[in-house]
A and B are shown apart, each in its own frame.
Chain A
Amino acid sequence: MTTGDALVAEAQRFATDLTATVRAVVGDHVEAFRARALHHPGLDHVSVHQEPRTGIPLTVAGAPLLNLTAEYYCVWDSPGQFLAVDESAVKVYAGAKAAGEPLFRYEYTRATTGDVPAAHIQIHGHRDALAFVMTRAGSGSPRGQQLAGRVAQGAAVPRMSDLHFPVGGTRFRPCLEDVLDMLVRELGVDHAHAWRDALADGRERWRRMQTAAVVRDAPAVAIEALSALGYEIHLRDDKVIPQDNRDRLREL
């Protein structure tokens, strides 16, 4: 299998998983997620997105009150073994189509700059007390300076959506199943009969995959935990002791 074939296969698998997750909640009428792959020497990128492009309508008591969009940009991970999400955005809008300003969004950027958490939630709402505090944001942080500068110039009124609430970093970030689960439980979105088990299955898949990634980040911790369970673990003679990925463990 060529790199290009593997890329297409991985994109297909990812799109199929996302489609199954959303259909398990919203119903089989939901269009399948679509993937696009661009394979070029030194450039292997994949995108996966919902259909239609204007978002997936979500109903409450039969009325289309909300709309969901989900976009994933993927690349090969560093060893070139797995398709890794480079950026993702799951957004929820009011109304039958995604337009204007979202209500809230879950976003992830793998190559975070440090000022903004890799995985974060932004809430598009307003509260006077929070806006007041944000107008006082200043010298303490680059983001605060940026915001204070815009406010001082009269260029912007602080918005709650300017805040990036961290949600666990690269490894422990929420998955699409968590967002759908919240929409059903908290906002009463109409759902298929077996939604709960389907979301739990998807969440388990996600967390098992992330567990493997975390083990690669901190192998000594994994050995310690497995040893406490009674395992004996030995590194093969031809292997070098892997180092912790401390950057990943410490990132916001």
Chain B
Amino acid sequence: MVETLSVEEARRRRDEVLASVGGNECDLRERAARYMLNAEELAALTELDELDFLLSE
């Protein structure tokens, strides 16, 4: 239930998540600010934010 990540694994996972929703993070965040994300996009953005926290980035 606890997934332990290295910095490299967290960065790789971040790339995968972003690619899964088209790869344009600016567009994703801009549409998030207007609450226009579908469930999968919102889930992806939440995971990006989580990985950024874990990486302190």
Q: Is the CB of A73 within 8 A of B3?
A: no
Q: Is the CB of A100 within 8 A of B37?
A: yes
Given A53-B43, A98-B43, A99-B39, A32:B54 Cβ within 8 A: no
Given A100-B36, A101-B35, A39:B53 Cβ within 8 A: no
Give the docked Cα–Cα distance between A101 and B10 (Å): 28
Chain A residues near B37 (CB-CB < 8 A): 99-100
Q: Is the CB of A34 within 8 A of B4?
A: no
Give the docked Cα–Cα distance between A97 and B56 (Å): 29
Q: Is the CB of B55 within 8 A of A38?
A: yes
Q: B-facing mask of A17-49, CB < 8 A → 1, else 0? A: 000000000000000111111111001011101
Q: Is the CB of A73 within 8 A of B53?
A: yes
Partner of B1, one of A4, A32, A53, A71: A32
User: In this complex, what residue of A is CB-closest to B13?
Assistant: A36
Give the docked Cα–Cα distance between A49 and B39 (Å): 15
Give the docked Cα–Cα distance between A82 and B43 (Å): 29
Chain A residues near B35 (CB-CB < 8 A): 100-101
Given A99-B38, A100-B37, A45:B43 Cβ within 8 A: no
Number of inter-chain CB pairs below 8 Å? 78
Chain B residues near A37 (CB-CB < 8 A): 2-5, 54
Q: Is the CB of B2 within 8 A of A71?
A: no
A69 at the interface (CB under 8 A from B): yes
Partner of A54, one of B5, B6, B40: B40
Chain B residues near A15 (CB-CB < 8 A): 1-2
User: In this complex, what residue of B is CB-closest to A52?
Assistant: B43
Chain B residues near A52 (CB-CB < 8 A): 43
B residues at A contact (CB < 8 Å): 1-7, 10, 35-40, 42-43, 46-47, 50, 53-56
19 contacts between A and B (CB under 8 A): A15-B1, A32-B1, A37-B2, A37-B4, A37-B5, A38-B55, A39-B4, A40-B7, A47-B50, A53-B43, A53-B46, A54-B39, A54-B43, A55-B39, A73-B53, A99-B39, A99-B42, A100-B37, A101-B35
Extra contacts, 19 of them, besides A34-B3, A38-B5 (Cβ < 8 A), are A8-B2, A11-B2, A12-B2, A36-B54, A38-B7, A38-B10, A43-B56, A47-B50, A49-B46, A49-B50, A53-B47, A55-B39, A71-B46, A71-B50, A87-B53, A97-B39, A98-B39, A99-B38, A100-B38
